[in-house]
Structure 1
Amino acid sequence: MLSPFLDSDIGHFLAAATSEGWICGKWEMEFLLQTFPQGCLVKRADSELQGYITSLRHDKSGWIGNLLVAPESRRGGIGTELMQGALQALLDAGVETVWLTASAKGVELYKKLGFIPVDSINRWVGEGGGGRSWSPAAPCDTEMIRHVDSAGWGDRRDALLAVTGNRGHVICGNHSFVCIQHWEQGTQLGPWGTLFEGHAAALLESALAAAGTNVFLDVPAGNLMAAALLTRKGFSIRGSNTLMYLGAKPKYSPHKVFALASMGSMG
């Protein structure tokens, strides 16, 4: 039987996630547990935590992330059980499309559950300006941000945009926006969306000026403009996962998605 993911489990999960080299924080887990608790589950054996999974409902779509099984408990079906539990919670909530990013090892598992590969997500790393030349910008139009983000993902993701924007700061351009989030490991760019590719270069210049020295972002491989801009700035790819979906085919436009909002766990 699966159990609810509790606030008291967050510390144990973060320790396990750190050992896997993941980038995630307490704020993120608290947001997930508050927003969609029925889709955040753990597998327990007596007092031992054997596995974790989180999920998040947007509007008509949802996202599954943070599937982690303790090394000593792997290859026993726990990962599949957790996946099925989170997936059922999303479907029961009326979600039509479920997203996730899969490592090379996880792709076949997710294909067996019906997930379809649609793109790759590349982790780009490079250098920013150290934040020395940044000054607070005028407030952004929240509805514009929602519209641009929805144009890329085919769904409204209001809660996710709000939580990432509130923990970082957002720079807006003409039908475009980028959020700058600070982590212990460096500065993340994302979410980053642009309706018209020609507006992306200026926004990137502003974001890098405001960012710390170490910068990273997760970018759809299908966005060739993003790859060209980042390459010109000296960024390079340090890893890649497969973007997959289950259910109704999404109105996904990768050329409008320049970076994800989270490092794989929320979309």
Structure 2
Amino acid sequence: MLSPFLTSDIDPFLTMASTEGWLCGKWEMEFLLQTFPQGCLVKRSGSETLGYITSLRHDKSGWIGNLLVAPQARRGGIGTELMQGAIHALLDAGVETVWLTASAKGVELYRRLGFTAIDSINRWVGEGSGGTGWSPFSPWDPEMVRHVDCAGWGDRREALLHVTSGRGHVICDNYSFVCIQPWPQGTQLGPWGTLLEGQAAPLLDLALAAAGTPVFLDVPAGNVAAAVLLSRKGFSIKGSNTLMYLGVRPKYSPQKVFALASMGSMG
């Protein structure tokens, strides 16, 4: 039997996530619990919490993240039980496509549950200029940002875009944008989307001029232009996960997605 993920579970979860080397924050967990509480679940045995999972509904799609099982409870079916609970919550809410990113260890579990690999997500790491100042091309345009993001992911993701832009700074150009998010560990670029490949380079220059260091971002491997651009700026890949989906094949255009909005847990 699964239980709701409570506010009091956030700190214990973050402690366990830190031991796994995950990058996630309290603001993120509070956002998930507020936005889609029925898809945020825990597995308990008496007073002991054995596992966690979170999920987020967008419009026609949803995202599963933060599947974490205590080391002493692994290989006992808890991960599968948590996954099934999150999947059912999203499908019951009316989503057609469920997304996630899988580590090498998790791919087989997700395949057994019906997920299909569609791309890889690479973690790129480089250096910024230390945050020398902001110089946006144009004012923040929420509707344009939603349009560009939807062109890449095939769905409207207003809540996710709102929370990430609200905690960072967005630089906009003509049908292109990049969000710069601060973390204690450095600066994240993302979400980052463009409709035309040539719009990405000037945005990256401005973002790096404004970013503290180090700079990290999660980028679809299917976006070859992003890889070329980041390599030229001295970035390198420090890790990779598999992007997978369940249900209706999404209208996914990786060449328009230059970075994810979150570090794996929300899309």
TM-score, with structure 1 as normaliser:
0.99
Question: What is the CA–CA distance in structure 2 between the aligned matches of 1:135 and 1:46, rounded to whole Å?
Answer: 54
Question: What is the CA–CA distance in structure 2 between the aligned matches of 1:95 and 1:25, rounded to whole Å?
Answer: 26
Q: Give CA deviations for 1:150-206 in whole Å, capped at 9, x if unaligned.
A: 000000000000000000010001110000000011000000000000100000000
Percent same amino acid among aligned pairs? 81
Q: Give CA deviations for 1:219-266 in whole Å, capped at 9, x if unaligned.
A: 000000000000000000000000000000000000000000000000
Q: Given the alignment of the two structures, is residue 65 of structure 1 paired with residue 65 of structure 2, yes or no?
A: yes
What SS does the aligned partner of 2:191 have? strand
Question: What is the CA–CA distance in structure 1 between the aligned matches of 2:76 and 2:29, rounded to whole Å?
Answer: 26
2:166 alignment partner AA: N
Match in the other structure for 1:91: 91
Match in the other structure for 1:155: 155
What SS does the aligned partner of 2:84 have? helix
Question: What is the CA–CA distance in structure 1 between the aligned matches of 2:141 and 2:133, rounded to whole Å?
Answer: 23
What SS does the aligned partner of 2:117 have? strand
> Structure 1 residue 127: deviation in Å?
0.1
Question: What is the CA–CA distance in structure 2 between the aligned matches of 1:148 and 1:50, rounded to whole Å?
Answer: 39
Match in the other structure for 2:208: 208
1:171-190 aligned within 5 A: 171-190=171-190
What SS does the aligned partner of 2:94 have? coil
Question: What is the CA–CA distance in structure 1 between the aligned matches of 2:135 and 2:95, rounded to whole Å?
Answer: 40
1:110-125 aligned within 5 A: 110-125=110-125
> Structure 1 residue 137: deviation in Å?
6.5
Match in the other structure for 1:39: 39
Q: Give CA deviations for 1:85-125 in whole Å, capped at 9, x if unaligned.
A: 00000000000000000000000000000000000000000
Q: Which runs of 5+ in 2 are unaligned?
A: none
> Structure 1 residue 136: deviation in Å?
6.5
TM-score, with structure 2 as normaliser:
0.99
User: For this pair of structures, how many residues does the alignment match?
Assistant: 267
Match in the other structure for 1:23: 23
Match in the other structure for 2:195: 195
Question: What is the CA–CA distance in structure 1 between the aligned matches of 2:64 and 2:134, rounded to whole Å?
Answer: 34
Match in the other structure for 2:258: 258
> Structure 1 residue 135: deviation in Å?
4.7
2:58 alignment partner AA: H
Cα contact 2:138–2:173 (8 A) shared by 1: no
Q: Which runs of 5+ in 1 are unaligned?
A: none
1:206 alignment partner AA: L
Stretches of 4+ aligned residues off by more than 3 angstroms: 135-138
